[in-house]
Every structure is written in C-alpha cells, then in structure tokens.
Amino acid sequence: MVSRSPRKSPLIALVATLVAAVGLLPGSAGAVPPDDSPGAQFYAVAAFDLVILRTMGMCALIVGTGLFLPSALVSSPGGRDAIGEAWDRFVSEPAAAVFERPLGEF
C-alpha cells in the first residue's frame, strides 16, 4: 500500500499569505482622530433616526392601522370621542412621528 501525503491547496497558502501580510500593515484606522464636531454628531443622530427610528415608526403605523378597527369596535359604545382617541393613539401619533417630526429631534 502506498500512502499519499496530503497535498495542501494553493488557495490555503494564498489565504495564509494574505492574512500574514495584512497583519504586518500599520494600523492606519487609529491614526484618524474622531470627528466630534456638532455637525458630525447631528449627522449620526439623523442617520440613526432615519434608518432605525423611522423604520420602527412605519412598522408601528402599519400595525396600529390594523389594530384600529378592532379597537374602534370595542370603543364604539363610548361614542365618537372614544373612537377619536383610538384613532389618535393607533394612527395619528405614529404617523406624526414618521412624517411630521423633524429629522434628528426626538
């Protein structure tokens, strides 16, 4: 029986070489000072508001619109005021938070 030695793939050698080369590079990311200017902070807050909070607000608006009908049926014996309160809570407030609130203001 002839035993064969395992042959290393050239891809593994290439990946190992690239990892070693990247490890030897000087860290240039730490050389850039953080930007603490008020403009940069506003853009970070506005990006968080736009990407995270407005998306969650849109989901709340969609779910609230779906929940308004059952809540209106339950609150209808209370009259128009009760239905108006349900509309405000489930639809108007999330819509105002998504569409009317200025970007970056909470």
Closest C-alpha to 58, from 98, 6, 24: 98
Q: Domain range for residue 73?
A: 61-106
Give the model's pLDDT for residue 38: 76
Query: Residue 26 has what pLDDT?
Result: 56
Task: Tell me, yes or no, whether 8 lies in a domain.
Answer: no
Cβ(65)–Cβ(89) below 8 Å = no
Q: Indicate whether 86 belongs to any domain.
A: yes
Per-residue pLDDT reduced to its tens digit, 3-62: 565 566 676 766 667 666 555 555 544 555 566 777 788 889 999 999 999 999 999 999
If pLDDT is split at 50, 70 and 90, which confidence band does 70 have?
Answer: very high
| Whole-structure pTM value | 0.60
**Measuring CA to CA, how many Å separate 81 from each of 2, 54, 64, 78, 84?**
90, 29, 18, 7, 5
pLDDT of residue 37: 73
Q: What is the pLDDT of residue 81?
A: 94
- Cα separation values, 17 from 10, 26, 89, Å: 11, 16, 60
Q: What is the pLDDT of residue 50?
A: 93
Q: 77 lies in a domain?
A: yes
